[in-house]
């Protein structure tokens, strides 16, 4: 309760050594990460990219089954956007039972590689992540009360 606030000089953070600089802003992007995020925005895009980066060209149906829980509408939509953005290439064999497959362009492939560390992170910390999510769900489910 005593008012001895005279700039306590916060300790200069022993944790969190700086990571790397980020060339800031070309068009309307805050930084490179910002640019990337806009491209991979969408619930399924990173998964699609990563999946394609692993398995090479894949038929629509295979992708559909691989990316669990995705609906046709969503998968098609995201693939279209990825295609428009020059990350995936669509090949339509014009066959009679439709046959189409998707593969990564070089650009897409490089993005796929940039996703690898994220995947590794998730794999390494999956235990923590899933614990955290369990709590989050409990919290969401129970808490409909005014802020406790």
Near DNA in 63-122, by CB under 7 A: 64, 69-74, 76, 79-80, 90, 92, 96-101
Query: How many C-beta atoms lie closer than 10 Å to residue 88's C-beta?
Result: 26
The reply on whether position 146 binds a copy of itself by CB under 8 A is: no
Distances (CA, A) of 48 to 25, 44, 86, 138: 27, 6, 14, 30
Residue window 75-104: x/- pattern of binding to a copy of itself, with contact defined by CB under 8 A:
---------xxx----x-x-xx--x-x-xx
27 interacts with a copy of itself by CB under 8 A: yes
SS3 77: helix
Rg (CA), the chain: 22
Which of 59, 66, 105, 119 is the binder for DNA (CB under 7 A)? 59
Distance from C-alpha of 11 to C-alpha of 29, rounded to nearest angstrom: 33
143 binds a copy of itself (CB under 8 A): no
Shortest Cβ 71–a copy of itself spacing (Å): 15
The token pair at 79 is 């693939």
Angle between helices 72-84 and 45-55 (to 10 degrees): 80
Q: Which one of DNA, a copy of itself, none interacts with residue 52, CB within 5 to 8 A by kind? A: a copy of itself
In terms of CB distance, is 102 or 111 closer to DNA? 102
DSSP 8-state assignment for residue 131: H
Total of residues contacting a copy of itself (CB under 8 A): 82
Which of a copy of itself, DNA, none sits in contact with 145, Cβ below 5 to 8 A by type? none
């Amino acid at each position: 309760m005593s008012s001895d606030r005279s700039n306590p000089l916060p300790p200069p953070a022993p944790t969190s050594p700086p990571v790397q600089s980020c060339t800031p802003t070309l068009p309307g992007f805050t930084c490179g990460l910002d640019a990337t995020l806009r491209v991979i925005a969408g619930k399924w895009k990173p998964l699609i990219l990563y999946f394609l980066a692993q398995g090479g060209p894949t038929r629509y149906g295979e992708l559909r089954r691989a990316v669990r829980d995705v609906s046709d509408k969503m998968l098609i939509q995201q693939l279209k956007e990825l295609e428009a953005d020059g990350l995936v290439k669509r090949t339509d064999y014009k066959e009679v039972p439709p046959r189409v497959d998707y593969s990564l362009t070089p650009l897409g492939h490089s993005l796929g590689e940039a996703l690898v560390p994220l995947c590794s992170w998730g794999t390494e910390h999956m235990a923590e992540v899933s614990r955290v999510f369990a709590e989050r769900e409990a919290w969401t489910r129970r808490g409909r009360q005014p802020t406790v």
